[in-house]
Every structure is written in C-alpha cells, then in structure tokens.
Structure 1
Amino acid sequence: MTDTNTIKPGGPQLVSPLSASLGFADIIADIAATAAAREREHRLPHEEIASLKARGFGALRLPADAGGHGVSLSELFVVARDIAAADSNIAHAFRNHLWQVEAALRRRDHPFHTHVLELTAKKKTVGLSFTETGALPAGARPDKVLTRLEWDEIRQAYVGSGDKVYATGNLYNDAFIGVAVESRAGRTVQYVLERGEGVSNHDDWQGFGQRLTGSGTAKFRDVTVPPAHVYPADPPRTDEAAPWGFTFHQVYLTSSIAGIARRVALDAVEVLRARGRNFYHGEAAHPVDEPVLQALLGRIRAYSSSIEATADRAVAALQRVWDTYGTSDEYDTTLAATFAAAEAKVVIDDLAPQIANWLIDLGSGSVVSRVGALDRHWRNIKVIASHNPRLYKERLLGRNALSGALPPTGAFF
C-alpha cells in the first residue's frame, strides 16, 4: 500500500531536469524568488543576467570544445522557458543574442559569424545596432545611420552614428552587430561593434509590461568600428533556399509566454494555500478545501500544461528545420515551422491571458495588492503577444487553407 504521506504534490515545476543538470537550478530559483520585488522597485536585472551569462546560458548551443554545452535547439528552448517562468523579462532580453548564435552556427565559415561565435564563447552577448525610424510605409525599410559607416583617416577606422529604438536587451549586451554601407567602396557590409565610448542605452521603454527588458533606446554617437571588424555581407539566398528566416524569433516569444503560463500555475498553488478565509457562502471552512477553488486551480493547471504542449509543437517543428538545414527538405520543414509558429501564437495569445485572469479570481481581493505584483503576468503576456499581432497570422492560416497562400518573408511576421 502506498504511504500517502510520501506522495508529493503534482503539477508543473519551475526548473526542468535539463536546466538542473546544466547547473542553472539555483540561478533560476533565485531569479524567480526576486522577480516580484524587481517589478515593484523597477530594478533592472543586471546582476541576474550577468550570472546567467557567466554560467554560460548565452553559449549553450556552442559545442563543448568551443565553450558551450552542445545542447540541441529544442533543449535551448527548455532552459529559456524555465528562465521565462522565473522572470520573462530576463528570457526576453536574451532573444536577439540567441538568434545571432543560431545564424552564426549555420554560417560559421563566414568571418562575421565566426566573430559572433568567438564573443559568445567568451560568455559575451551581442545585440542589434540596426537603426530604426518612426512610421514607414508598407514594405519600406529604415535607412538612417548607423546603416552607413564613414571612413575616418585620423582614426584609421570606420565611424557611425544613429539610434536604435526598441533595443531589447541592449542594456545588458557586450557587443552589437549591424548591416551598413561603408563609404570607401560603397558596398554593403556587416560589422561587430563592441561596447565602448559613444554607446549608451536608455531605460526609456514605456510599455506597461516587460518593463525590465532593456527595450528602450540605444544611442550610437560617433562610434568607432575597426576595419578588422567589418566583414562582407552574407551571400544572397538562392532561389531554392527557404525564404522564411525568422521563425526562431516568433517561437521564442511564444515559448516565453508559455513560461509565464507555467509561472501562473505555480503562483496559483501558493495563492490558494495562502488564502486565510473563505467567503461566508462558501462550502468549506478554509479556501484550500473549497471545491470551486480547487476546480479553478485544476483548470489553470490544465490550461498551462496545454499551452506548453502547444509551444512544444512549434519548437519541435523548428528543430526539424535545423536538422534539415542545407538539404532538399529544408524548404518544406521551414514552411511547416512557420505555420506551426503561427498556429501556436494564435492559440497561446488567446489562452494565456485567460489563466492570468483566473489567478486573480482564485485569490480574489487578497491578491490585488501591488506587493505580490501578480498583475505582471497578464501585462507581460499582453506585451509579448503584441509583437507581430495574431490577427495577421489568423488571416494567413485561413487564406492558406483556402488557397495555399504562403507566409510573408520579413522579420516582423
């Protein structure tokens, strides 16, 4: 007979066995324990991100002999989602760097990408210095400096200036990459700019959620780029290559929302345990024994698990893209992953805010205090979801079912 005293509570766990085996359990637990305080105090997570970098999170995908852990793409998402469950701001701040590592691993014979991998092996992270403008007509691309590098004879280096808005993660990054036209030959180049004089980041992001991602303005003023850090542009894609190159970005954000959904389920258990009194018309003396509240807790758990499973389907599709890279199957797997990412986003963007609402229902008036900062879950979900709204993806999925229409190929789909 089973001793019921030895049965452990079920449901989601904050840290996966994989993250624990890689040595991240303590950091993730600490991040989770202090997330509400950071939210209340608007304390940017410099120390937490530095700890993750030092432990090698940014280099997980590098082979072991190159300073990494050699994890698969799917395994990277496991660890990233654990971090998102602890604090979605921190997971989000790594997105641009992790994507650059993915791109570099595929093109490691190119000197620009080799440079990115070398920085990553040193446990540094790279951000973006592509300059963005305000409103643009449909189909247009930003064209301001730092998309131009001027040669400076005195410095014997290239010089550029410009602003990057929505510079997610740049407050915490050690280097920045971009594409520009260099003045001497008028050719398009790629460059790597390490943090130094002329680089500043401003915590002026005004979003009501994801407040600590460092998504403000990055300013580059008369920055110097050594000629050794300026590289030829990547060769153009062939006609046979799959043109959907940004699915990673979409899946990463949706997977981060799945991490928040897990945190809601974890917080829901603590909320119900902590409730001290029931309504007079309840059926139990204590809220933890109240049938309707137990049922709501079960609903939150079920929806959270289903959200993670939906995200995992998109992650698995993205893993197949990696596995078929450079083969005749790459086009089909990339297209399938793009649709899987869209399907996951449509579902998760709809369901995740619901379970954040139910968390408040579960705790009632006892959880609306700003001390617990539980409202951050709904706010963070909605802000992440606002990246590339699901409405356009819903339409694409419908059009594709009717006529076979293909997805757009730009980064912002």
Structure 2
Amino acid sequence: MAETAVHTPGAVALVSPLSASLGFSEAIGEIAATAAQREREQRLPYEEIATLKALGFGALRLSADDGGHGSTLSGLFEVARDLAAADSNIAHAFRNHLWQVEAALLRRDHPFHPHVLDLARRRKTVGLSFADSDATAAGARSSRVLSRLEWDERRQVYVGSGDKVYATGNLYNDAFVGLAIESRANATVQYVLERSAGVAAEDDWQGFGQRLTGSGTARFRDVVVQPAHVYAPDPPKTPEAAPWGFTFHQVYLTNCIAGIVRRVVLDAVEVLRARKRNFYHGEAAQPADEPALQALLGRIRAYAACIEASAQRAVQALERAQAGVGTSEEYARTLEATLAASEAKVVIDDLAPQVASWLIDLGSGSAVSSVAALDRHWRNIKVIASHNPRLYKERLLGQNLLSGQLPPTGAFF
C-alpha cells in the first residue's frame, strides 16, 4: 500500500534520499509492495533477502575499497529504518549479521574479525550458533550450542553439534559464529562455521508477529569447522573500557519499530484516500474531507515524527559512543548511549502500538480486511518490543536519576 513517491510538500516518503543514492530504492519499494501478500501467504522472504545481500546491504559499513558502501553508523540505521518501513521482518533478520560486522570493525586486531568482514565483503551474512537454550533465566549464560569442538585426527578438522533456539535470520544466513570448548586444550575458542551439510534451520517460530524473520530453531549436526576458522577468544577488555557493549542490539530493534510506524503513516494516507463511505453522523460526504479523520491522520503523523526523532537520538548517541571506543571518552559515551537507548525504548514501546491502533480507527471497517494485513503493524511492534521489556528499563532510568545506578552489562538488557 505504501508508495515511494512524495505526493505533496512535506509528505512522508518510504525511502530516504540516502537509500536511493546507495541503490536500494527499487528493492525496498518492491519489498514494501509485496509485504502484505507475504504476510497473508506466510511466504519466507528468501528472494528479497538475496537481492539485498547482492546489493550490499550487509556490507553497508565496509569501506568502498573493501567492497562496501562506506556508510556511517547513522547511515546504516537510516537505510535499515527504510527497510523496516517496507518489511520489518527483513530488517530484523539482518540484525545479528550487522552487529557482527560492527563488532569486527571496532576490533580489527584479532583474526576472527577480518574473517567476519571478509564474509560481508563477499555478500554473505553471518548468524549465531550459540545460545542459552537450557538457561533458567532469560539471558543467563549457562550453556553453549556447540559446547565442544572435537578434533577429528583423521580428517584434520573439528566437529561439533548443538541446537540454537530463537535463531533469528539463520534461515537466510551463510555462516555462523560462536564460542565452544576446543577438545585438545579444553579451552574456550571462537569459530566461524560456513553453511554446509549438517546445518538446518526450522521455521518453527510461533510468535504472533515478526513471523517471517526466520526465528525458529537452528540445528547443527556433526558440522565441520576448519582449523583455520577456529580462533583464540578476544582478549579481555581493559579496566578503562566500557562494559556496555551490546547497545547496538537494542537501538537496532527500536529503530525497526520506528520504521514500522513510518509505514503506518503511509498506509494511513492510502486508507483515508481509498475510503469511500463515511458514517451517517459524519460532517463530510467523503471520509478524506472529514475533519475528525483529518485530525487523526495529523496525530498519527506527529507521533510518528516524534518516534523517529527519538530513535535517531539513540542512534546518534550510539555513534558517538563507538567513535570513542579505545579513548578516554569510551566509558562516559557508552553509558550515555545505553541510557539513550533505554529512554527511546520506553517512549517508543509505549507510543508505537497506539499509533498502529489509530490506523484501524482511521479506516474503521475498511481497514480490518485481512487482504491489507494492516494488523501486522501492531503485532510486529509488540513482538519486537517484547525482546527486552521496557519495565526494567523504566526502573533503571529512575534508579539512575536517584542513585546513579548503572545499567546491566549483558546483551539481553
């Protein structure tokens, strides 16, 4: 339903000038045009993701000399927000890969990271093959998927097995990274495993939203890892380094929600234009001329603009933090970014579902048809927001003001 063209001065556009300049406009427009159909048919977006890979979406942050687009971090989030407006499932499916690339760019001094960057340069995407599937608490670090890499003396390779639950994007990924115990030294190692025999992913994700992200179970059975692709773990951080290393994850999810809200605005315009019948107690013959409906459309637009601005504020704080890595400013900037990410999430998680609900109010009975699948916006927002409940962030923000309480340091906050 959404269109890329700008019809009137100041109108909201699906695709930003940046995405257009980088060559993503056509692909994002086609993804947007077919999103509702994919939702109705539950068709996984293999082709769409393959197109984005070929265009270098997964290599946005690599320099032009290294086969990428040379995008800034803010630019990455801007293009990702455009993609989320087109189809939040697809934007979400790239999150783990984009984080691995970002982490590699921050720490090029370890051979594990150039390997990840080389995969991105070759238009491949990287997923995760470690998780805490048997943990008693969400995010508790109690296990690894490939718990051991057993050395096969005859073949001179490592072999491992395991399952990863909530393997977002792994249906579409070409390689997987993780941690395991190396059998000969009985020590923790990092590894990169490229897709091959023994790697399978199931589309068994049962969420009521984000149904096409490939967030099911990934299974690894006697997978082979080449010894050249097994690395010593990253050295420990220095005492001066900031412990909040995973703010990217939360900002990316919040950015996806901001993209969905932009799509709500675009769909709201089309819903009101297409609506032919007004209620008998309305003030205008045509719904598009109805003052109450015009006001509601204006409210949707205004809230959406504030949501995008809040998301962008968190992106800018994250960009400042990453520019400060390795400097005396790292700790302060990273703390600022984590708090800004929490502030954005609290506000956006609260307002975005309301904006999606207003879309149905605007269209009334004309908006509830399953053909348009407009309900997906609310469902997708709620599922993305559920990854890290805002209640804990609200409390942390209050504690921080009262006593200087610092945020937790794990990836799941």
Q: Which category describes the TM-score, using the shorter chain as reference length?
A: over 0.9
Distance 1:366-1:145 versus aligned 2 partners, 3 A rule: closer
Q: Which residue of 2 aligns with 1:270?
A: 270
CA distance in 1, matches of 2:316, 2:399: 24
Q: Who is 2:324 aligned against?
A: 324
CA contact (8 A) 2:129 2:164 kept: yes
Contact 2:145–2:164 (8 Å) recurs in 1: no
Match of 1:116 in 2: 116
Aligned residue for 1:200? 200
1:213 aligns with 2:231: no
Rate the CA distance shift 1:59–1:7 in 2: closer, same or farther, 3 A.
closer
- Are 1:247 and 1:341, in contact at CA under 8 Å, matched by a contact in 2? yes
1:58–1:98: 8 Å Cα contact kept in structure 2? yes
Counterpart residue identity of residue 385, structure 1? A
Alpha-carbon contact 1:11-1:301 (below 8 Å) kept: no
Question: Partners of 2:197 and 2:60 in 1: how far apart?
Answer: 30
Equivalent-residue separation in structure 2 for 1:287 and 1:411 (angstroms): 47
TM-score, length-scaled by structure 1: 0.97
Provide closer, same or farther for how the CA distance between residues 252 and 406 of structure 1 changes in structure 2, counting only shifts above 3 A: same
What are the within-5 Å matches in structure 2 for residues 320-359 of structure 1?
320-359=320-359
Does the Cα contact within 8 Å between 1:261 and 1:356 map onto a contact in 2? yes
Q: For residues 48-100 of structure 1, what are the alpha-carbon distances to aligned partners after superposition, in whole Å with 9 as ceiling and x for unaligned?
A: 00000000000010011000011110000000000000000000000000000
Structure 1 pair 145–305 and aligned structure 2 pair: CA distance change class (3 A): closer
Secondary structure of 2:171's aligned partner: helix
SS of alignment partner, residue 127 of structure 2:
strand
C-alpha separation in 1, matches of 2:347 and 2:12: 20
Structure 2 length as normaliser, TM-score? Answer: 0.97
CA displacement at 1:130 relative to structure 2: 0.2
Distance 2:410 2:275 in 1: 48
Confirm or deny that 1:364 pairs with 2:364. yes
1:91 and 2:54 equivalent?
Answer: no
The 1:76/1:153 distance shift into structure 2, 3 A limit, reads: same
Matched ranges for 1:11-410 at <5 A: 11-137=11-137, 140-410=140-410
Task: Measure how far apart 1:144 and its partner are.
Answer: 4.4
The one-letter amino acid paired with 1:198 is G
1:109 offset after TM fit, Å?
2.2
- Give secondary structure in 2 for the equivalent of 1:170: coil
**AA matched with 2:375:** D
What's the counterpart of residue 3 of structure 1? none
Q: Output one character per residue of 1:305-357: Cα deviation in whole Å (capped at 9) or x when no partner.
A: 10000000000000101221211001100000000000000000000000000
Q: Residues 61 and 73 of structure 1 are in contact (CA less than 8 Å); yes or no, is this contact kept in structure 2? A: yes
Paired with 1:45 and 1:304, the residues of 2 have a C-alpha distance of 26
Give the aligned length.
408
d(CA) in 2 for partners of 1:342, 1:147: 33
Secondary structure of the residue aligned to 2:208 is: coil
d(CA) in 2 for partners of 1:168 and 1:142? 20
SS in 1 for 2:146: coil
The one-letter code matched in structure 1 to 2:8 is K
Whether contact under 8 Å (2:135, 2:142) holds in the other structure is: no
2:227 alignment partner AA: P
Mapped contact 1:131–1:146 kept (Cα < 8 A): no
The answer for unaligned runs of 5 or more in structure 2 is 1-5
- Counterpart-to-counterpart distance in 2, 1:125 and 1:140: 26
Q: Are 1:132 and 1:163, in contact at CA under 8 Å, matched by a contact in 2?
A: no
1:10 has 2:36 as partner: no
| 1:282–1:62 distance in 2 versus 1, CA, 3 Å | same
- Amino acid paired to 2:268: A
Consecutive unaligned residues of structure 1, counting only runs of 5 or more, are 1-5
Cα distance in 2 for residues equivalent to 1:167 and 1:222:
18
Q: Which residue identity is paired with 2:285? A: A
Tell whether the 8 Å contact from 1:317 to 1:333 is kept in structure 2 after alignment: yes
After the TM superposition, list the runs of 4 or more consecutive aligned residues in structure 1 that deviate by more than 3 angstroms.
137-140
What amino acid is aligned across from residue 115 of structure 1 in structure 2?
Answer: H
Residue 132 of structure 2 contacts residue 139 of structure 2 at CA under 8 Å; is this kept in 1?
A: no
Report the RMSD for the aligned CA atoms in angstroms: 1.2
Hey, what does 2:3 align to over in structure 1?
Answer: none
Indicate conservation of the 8 Å contact 2:126/2:177, yes or no: yes
- Mark the CA change 1:373 to 1:388 in structure 2 (over 3 Å): closer, same or farther: same
Which secondary structure does the structure 2 equivalent of 1:190 belong to?
Answer: strand
Compute the displacement of 1:132 (Å): 2.7
Give the Cα–Cα distance (whole angstroms) in 1 for the partners of residues 67 and 266 of structure 2: 34
1:319 partner amino acid: E
Instruction: Kindly provide the amino acid, as one letter, of the partner of residue 34 in structure 1.
Output: T
Question: Cα offset for 1:11?
Answer: 2.7
Render the CA deviation track for 1:84-123: whole Å, top value 9, x for unaligned.
Answer: 0000000000000000000000111211101000110000
Q: Distance in 2 between matches of 1:357 and 1:313?
A: 25
Looking at structure 1, the residues matched to 119 and 133 of structure 2 have their Cα atoms a distance apart, in angstroms, of: 28
Distance across 2 between alignment mates of 1:135 and 1:372: 39
Q: CA deviation at 1:136?
A: 1.5
Secondary structure of the corresponding residue to residue 159 of structure 2: strand
For 2:18 and 2:261, the matched residues in 1 are separated by 19
**CA shift digits 1:251-270 (9 cap, x unpaired):** 00000000000000000000
